[in-house]
Amino acid sequence: MTRAVHPIERESYAILRSRLGTSGLPPWTRAVTERVIHASADPCYLTDLVCDEEALAAAARALAAGAPIVADSAMTAAGITARPVICRIRDPRTAGLAGRERITRSAAGIRVAYDAAGPGAVWVIGTAPTALAELLRIGASPALVIGLPVGFVGAVESKQALRRSGLPSLTNLGEKGGAAVAAAALNALLYEALPAEEESGS
């Protein structure tokens, strides 16, 4: 299997690398950092991301072996293009659980998704801090947590809690993040193992 790379993407990476010093980063950290910056056009992620090279490498191996991918929202799931994704935010059971337990639908969706994914999954949280908090609460034993929820309420705190948890993780220091950024980080782990071929077009 190969991945078609459009000339515009190649040019974008060339510009990125001409402006930022990413060449000294470890391989998986560089792949994730560059793809997040490419997706967001925000060079500040170079110093804002908190990467653990060993955790990223282990997660890439887990993905290659078929580990499930779970996303917190439809927006996050839509950005992950190379593999099927478990997302239960629109599952009727999620709405029912949220109502009964008086928790957010995002948090309820994490519980329902865990029933499908089980331990060893790669979790991609790009939208809701409450989803990340719930994932930490349930003890999911993940292969990796990409914890990049965005917002002024709870986002920073949930990321701090993720780093304190000791779970293998990729996160960032500030309030920014989002579905596109979280999906880009996951895609980096998938794409890096695929041979690239040039795509024609403008």
Backbone angles phi, psi at 119, to 5 degrees: -70, 160
Amino acid identity, residue 193?
Answer: A
Query: Which whole number is the average pLDDT over 55-76?
Result: 96
Mean of all residue pLDDT scores within the chain: 91
Handedness of CA 144, 146, 152, 153 (dihedral sign): negative
Evaluate whether 125 touches 70 at the Cβ level (below 8 Å): no
38 is catalytic: yes
Which of 126, 142, 117 lies closest to 79, judged by CA? 126
pLDDT tens for each residue of 87-114? 999 999 999 999 999 999 999 999 999 9
Query: Which whole number is the average pLDDT over 49-71?
Result: 96
pLDDT tens for each residue of 36-51? 999 999 999 999 999 9
CA distances from 195 to 2, 5, 39, 127, 202 (A): 5, 10, 20, 30, 21
Residue 66: predicted pLDDT: 94
Evaluate whether 147 touches 158 at the Cβ level (below 8 Å): yes
Residue 6: predicted pLDDT: 74
Query: Which whole number is the average pLDDT over 174-188?
Result: 96
Classify domain 49-186 by CATH architecture.
Answer: 3-Layer(aba) Sandwich (3.40)
Residue 13: predicted pLDDT: 82
Exposure string for 159-174, b = 16+ CB within 10 A, e = fewer: bebbeeeebbbbbbee
Residue 24 predicted with pLDDT over 50: yes
Query: Which whole number is the average pLDDT over 151-170?
Result: 96
Residue 202 predicted with pLDDT over 60: no
Catalytic residue among 3, 5, 22, 38: 38
Residue 11: predicted pLDDT: 85
Residue 200: predicted pLDDT: 47
- Of the ranges 34-38, 80-84, 143-147, 158-162, which one carries the lowest mean pLDDT score? 80-84
Domain definitions of the chain by residue range: 49-186
Residue 175: predicted pLDDT: 96
Residue 193: predicted pLDDT: 62
